[in-house]
């Protein structure tokens, strides 16, 4: 799992716990209280990350501009019943960097995160408090990782991860929408590229070959353990006798039992290692299973027609071991396979240019169930009322 995903789960878990504690004290939310949009704070900068001070300044100023566009939305101007706290990050390379050649010299990835905190007071009091942190959302900058990081990796080759296309890929407000996230960009190139049936099978074949080779190497290494056991027998016996003599002094009543158990354990290990050495040329069950898997992929690839080989691969989770790896496009759960387009970003442009924005975490589970709490209601309201096209001017030409 990606770090930002783990952080989000932790935040939600803590928020849920605090909410229960507050609820036990009969908290009363204040949805009509005019809230505050806090000034943007920077949770991380580009300092020490290979960026110049000028690059850091330029990028930070763009995050401030992005924050203000969100602030001017009907939901957050003013934020009713909540305190909104935006925070920004420059050069979030660890968790937000897309996988493509030259990515370390491509556009700088970063993000704007908007956290929400409800105003409330406890029953019988009038003192206003800021309650536990609620849901937050991200605007990822120059990063498309959110669109596919959670997608299952079905294979990997020199082009990176091969995965199924999101089932909910569509257009909303005239913008691409994947996995609950809006994509704002002027880049004309596709985000994802289709993966052919041949490429997918070749990737699985190479993966199976590597896994089989490792199993075989581990098998041979284990088979060689018997020789090492024989070579170390005298040393083990000396150590055992030394321990036995010490035991006779310290706990004489346990000494003979220790010696018997130690010798028996050593003998049984030697028998087991000898059996493995004797079967060094016989494939293990795991090796046989992997070999059958590899044979299946190779046979399926050899049977493809030129047209089918070049066509986009489809995958179904309903196919069992031994069935065709490839699915037909008309199978009810089949998804087309794609990979991230390594040429999506224009690496000739300044690294501080904003080429794409991805607005995510607006469709988290449980938002509607907690809509009585202003901080949850504001997220729902924002995704419904915000004009995501208003983010287009943030993009650099």
* 282-316: pLDDT as tens digits: 899 999 999 999 999 999 999 999 999 999 999 99
pTM for the model: 0.79
CA-CA distance, 73 to 68, in Å (whole number)? Answer: 9
Residue 268 predicted with pLDDT over 60: yes
pLDDT tier for residue 25 given thresholds of 50, 70 and 90: low
Task: Point out the least confidently predicted range of 54-58, 82-86, 130-134, 164-168.
Answer: 130-134
Peptide bond into 228 cis (omega under 30): no
pLDDT score for 190:
96
- Could you read off the pLDDT of 114-148 as tens digits, one per residue? 999 999 987 778 888 898 778 899 999 999 999 99
Are 71 and 77 contacting, i.e. CB atoms less than 8 angstroms apart?
Answer: yes
List the end-to-end C-alpha distance of the chain, in Å, as a whole number. 34
Neighbours of 33 (CB within 10 A): 19
Residue 10 predicted with pLDDT over 70: no
Are 143 and 181 contacting, i.e. CB atoms less than 8 angstroms apart?
Answer: no
pLDDT score for 377:
92
What mean pLDDT, rounded, does the chain reach?
89
List, in sequence order, every residue forming a beta bridge with 37; answer none if it has no partner. Answer: 84
Distances (CA, A) of 27 to 20, 132, 173, 276, 372: 10, 11, 37, 67, 12
Candidates 101, 179, 108, 102; CA nearest to 143 is 108
CA-CA distance, 145 to 258, in Å (whole number)? Answer: 58
CA-CA distance, 301 to 309, in Å (whole number)? Answer: 8
pLDDT score for 61:
95
Residue 352 predicted with pLDDT over 50: yes
pLDDT tier for residue 389 given thresholds of 50, 70 and 90: very high
Residue 68 predicted with pLDDT over 90: yes
Q: What count of residues does the chain have?
A: 397
pLDDT tier for residue 48 given thresholds of 50, 70 and 90: low
| Alpha helices (H) along 224-251 | 225-231, 233-250
């Amino acid at each position: 799992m990606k770090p930002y995903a783990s952080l989000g789960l932790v935040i939600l878990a803590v928020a849920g716990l605090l909410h229960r504690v507050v609820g036990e004290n009969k908290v009363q939310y204040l949805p009509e209280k005019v809230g505050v949009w806090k000034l943007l704070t920077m949770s991380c900068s580009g300092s020490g990350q290979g960026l110049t001070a000028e690059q850091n300044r330029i990028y930070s100023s763009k995050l401030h501009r992005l924050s203000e566009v969100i602030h001017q939305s009907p939901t957050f101007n003013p934020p009713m019943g909540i305190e909104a706290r935006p925070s920004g990050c420059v050069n979030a390379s660890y968790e937000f960097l897309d996988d493509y050649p030259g990515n370390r010299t491509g556009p700088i990835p970063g993000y704007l995160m908007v956290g929400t905190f409800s105003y409330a007071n406890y029953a019988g009091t009038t003192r206003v408090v800021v309650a536990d942190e609620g849901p937050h959302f991200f605007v990822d900058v120059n990063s498309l990782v959110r669109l596919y990081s959670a997608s299952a990796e079905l294979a990997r080759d020199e082009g990176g991860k091969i995965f199924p296309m999101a089932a909910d890929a569509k257009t909303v407000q005239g913008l691409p929408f994947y996995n609950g996230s809006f994509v704002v960009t002027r880049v004309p190139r596709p985000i994802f590229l289709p993966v052919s049936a041949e490429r997918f099978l070749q990737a699985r074949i190479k993966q199976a070959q590597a896994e089989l080779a490792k199993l075989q190497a581990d098998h041979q290494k284990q088979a060689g353990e018997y020789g090492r056991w024989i070579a170390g027998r005298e040393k083990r016996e000396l150590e055992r006798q030394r321990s036995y003599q010490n035991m006779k002094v310290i706990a004489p009543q346990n000494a003979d039992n220790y010696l018997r158990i130690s010798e028996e354990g050593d003998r049984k290990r030697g028998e087991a290692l000898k059996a493995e050495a004797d079967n060094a040329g016989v494939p293990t069950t795991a090796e046989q299973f992997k070999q059958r898997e590899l044979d299946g992929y190779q046979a399926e690839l050899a049977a493809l027609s030129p047209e089918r080989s070049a066509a986009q691969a489809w995958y179904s989770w309903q196919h069992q071991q031994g069935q065709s790896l490839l699915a037909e496009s008309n199978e009810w759960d089949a998804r087309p396979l794609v990979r991230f387009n390594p040429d999506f970003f224009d690496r000739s442009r300044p690294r501080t240019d904003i080429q794409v924005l991805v607005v995510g975490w607006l469709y988290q589970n449980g938002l509607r169930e907690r809509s009585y709490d202003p901080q949850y209601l504001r997220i729902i309201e924002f995704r419904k009322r915000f004009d995501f096209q208003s983010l287009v001017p943030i993009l650099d030409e």
